[in-house]
Every structure is written in C-alpha cells, then in structure tokens.
Amino acid sequence: MTRMKSLWIASPRTVLLAFGALLVVAAVAVGSGANFNSTSANPSNVFTAGTISSSNSKANLAILTASNLVPGNTATGTVDIKNTGSASGTFTMTATPPVDTAGAPGGPRLSKKLTLTIVDQGNPTCTTACPAFNTIYTGTIFAEPATIALGVFPAGATHRYVFTMTFPDSGTGGADNAYQGASTSVDYDWFSTS
C-alpha cells in the first residue's frame, strides 16, 4: 500500500493511465470473449384443412344400359371417377341390391344370370409407364358385393372403370327361354373419405 501511495505522489497521471489501460484491456477481453449470437425465426405458421370431393363423368346417368338382350350378348359402359379435392381420398363404390322383374310369373331372376366384370383401367390419359388394369369384380350381378374398395386416389387422380355385362348362352333348344322379357337394375354410388 505504501508503494501505491508513493507512486501516486510521484506521478498521479502515470497511475491513472495505467489503471485506464487496464480497464480498456479488461473491456476488450470481455467484449471479445466467446460470445457468438445467432437468431432464426419461423413466423406466420399457417395450417389449412384439405378438401375431399370427387367428380363422376356420368353423374345422375346410367353407366350401362342394354335392351333387347339375347343369350350371348355383351354390353359395355365406362365411367371416370376423379378426386377433385385437395387431399388424398380413400374411394369405395357401393351397389344397391338388384331389382328384378321376371319375364313371366314365377320366372327366374335375370340378375342371377347376367355376369358383370368391372375393370379399373387407371388414368385414361396415361401414355407411358401406366399401371396394369385391375379387375375389381367379376361374377353375377346378383352376387356383387354391396361395397368394393377402390383404394387411395391422390388429389387430382382419375380412374376409368369399364363395366362389361354378358348374357351367358346356356345352349340350344331354348335353354334360356325362361328369361325372355325379364329385367334387372342396380344403382352405383361412389364415395371418398379422408
């Protein structure tokens, strides 16, 4: 302490400069320490709900109508189903139970005779690397399941379905005469869910 006092008396200016230099060095040391900073912001996070909707190229129309059928006849109809929503959707097709009208009282049900094949041909505009056709049902109209799973359609995807109905020929000698004048009808509905 006496040494500090003697330095102060001898040269107060030198002591003050020395202290000032020490303070500057300390400030630089503190200011230049490992004090890195970085900021990153994520403003305006927005969430919106997708939409589920579909279009049917034959909305409110029959996919397939055939009149005056005789054994051996075949008829074909097509429908395009498109996911018009903004989100992927799981699609199904439902069929109502067939409504039969016998040709003669007590006659057989035509829905148990007619065979139906439904083929998913995928995107009708596909030209390269197109997926193979997929048969989603084949059998009589009567035995068709009430609901058929069609799979997941991404937003904007279209699938073409081809319905082919055949009146099988049971042979000669009027084997199918009991079906004369008979009719059957069935309704189809298409559904999509998220």
Instruction: Go through the domains of the chain in sequence order and give each one's CATH number.
Output: 2-31 (no CATH), 54-193 (2.60.120)
CB-facing half-sphere around the CA of 97: CA atoms within 13 A = 2
Q: Look at residue 48 in the predicted model and tell me its pLDDT.
A: 86
Query: Residue 162 to residues 43, 56, 76, 124: CA-CA distances in angstroms?
Result: 50, 13, 7, 11
Question: Which tens digit of pLDDT belongs to each residue from 38-81?
Answer: 889 998 889 888 888 999 999 999 999 999 999 999 999 999 99
Question: SS3 for 119-177, per residue?
Answer: EECCCCCCCCCCCCCEEEEEEECCCCCCEEEEEEECCCCEEEEEEEEECCCCCCCCCCH
Cβ-proximal residues to 171 (8 Å cutoff; 6+ apart), any chain: none
Q: How far is CA 121 from the centre of its chain?
A: 16
Question: Which tens digit of pLDDT belongs to each residue from 77-126?
Answer: 999 999 999 999 999 999 999 999 998 888 999 999 999 999 999 999 99
111: helix, coil or strand? helix
